[in-house]
Chains A and B, each alone.
Chain A
Amino acid sequence: AQSVAQPEDQVNVAEGNPLTVKCTYSVSGNPYLFWYVQYPNRGLQFLLKYITGDNLVKGSYGFEAEFNKSQTSFHLKKPSALVSDSALYFCAVRDRNNNNNDMRFGAGTRLTVKP
């Protein structure tokens, strides 16, 4: 079964600095990988996904993520953080070889960007 690990519960960065939110995955086959963001008392909002092709995926609000098969990672990055990026970030994975619709979410990483 597929699983996702987000090793950091909390990430703190200063506004204007680059940010990284880490995600590693485990699947029996090849993965489909997703990042979602959740603002307080709101649903999850899709940021980006990796399906195939270029390992660097660009998404909404200036975020990008790099698929690294050898390290089984899909870290979320942004060159210059904004205070408004402060939110809860979830990585999710589906197993390409699994016919069910099971998408597994990580436990989430709370990003705080300080002015």
Chain B
Amino acid sequence: DAMVIQNPRYQVTQFGKPVTLSCSQTLNHNVMYWYQQKSSQAPKLLFHYYDKDFNNEADTPDNFQSRRPNTSFCFLDIRSPGLGDAAMYLCATSRWTGGTDTQYFGPGTRLTVL
């Protein structure tokens, strides 16, 4: 089945220690998104890639970076995690950025910062 996969499902890191979260997709979608979701709140868009074009949300901290080496994979890098970065991180994909298109989400990675 075509799907969005996130690894690991649970990640523990130490305060200030860089961490990378991974997302892959078999849907062959052009767009990949990263959202941050804190305890039962609405997901907050951090950034997205349309193919190789990176689009950063204005209020996304510089501490958060992303890489998309190919169509299938996208990574979220947190350079110096703080306690406030503990959250669920959701990856999503869509075929294009048109308003009608559905976003398909992965299961998420829950990040704990000690």
Interface residues of A (CB under 8 A from B): 32, 34, 36, 41-46, 49, 51, 88, 90, 94-96, 98, 100-103, 105-108, 110
The reply to whether A107 and B41 contact each other, CB–CB distance below 8 Å, is: yes
Distance, CA A103 to CA B43, complexed state (A): 10
User: Total interface residues on B, using CB and 8 Å?
Assistant: 27
Q: Assess whether B102 is interfacial by the CB under 8 Å rule.
A: yes
Evaluate contact between B104 and A46: CB separation under 8 angstroms: yes
For the complex of A and B, 10 pairs with smallest distance between CB atoms: A43-B105, A105-B42, A101-B97, A44-B105, A94-B99, A43-B107, A32-B99, A43-B108, A51-B100, A43-B106
Check A43 against B99 for contact (C-beta < 8 Å): no
B68 interface residue (CB < 8 Å to A): no
Query: Interface residues, chain B, CB within 8 Å of chain A?
Result: 4, 6, 9, 31, 40-43, 45, 48, 50, 55, 88, 90-92, 97, 99-100, 102-108, 110
Contact B40 A103 (CB under 8 A): no
A-B residue pairs in contact (CB < 8 Å), sample of 7? A43-B108, A44-B43, A46-B102, A46-B103, A46-B104, A51-B100, A98-B99
Contacting pair B99 A95 (CB below 8 A) = yes
Beyond the given A34-B102, A43-B108, A107-B42, could you list 16 further A-B residue pairs with CB under 8 A, ordered by the A residue number?
A32-B99, A32-B100, A41-B9, A41-B108, A41-B110, A43-B4, A43-B6, A43-B92, A90-B43, A95-B99, A101-B31, A101-B50, A103-B45, A105-B43, A107-B41, A108-B40
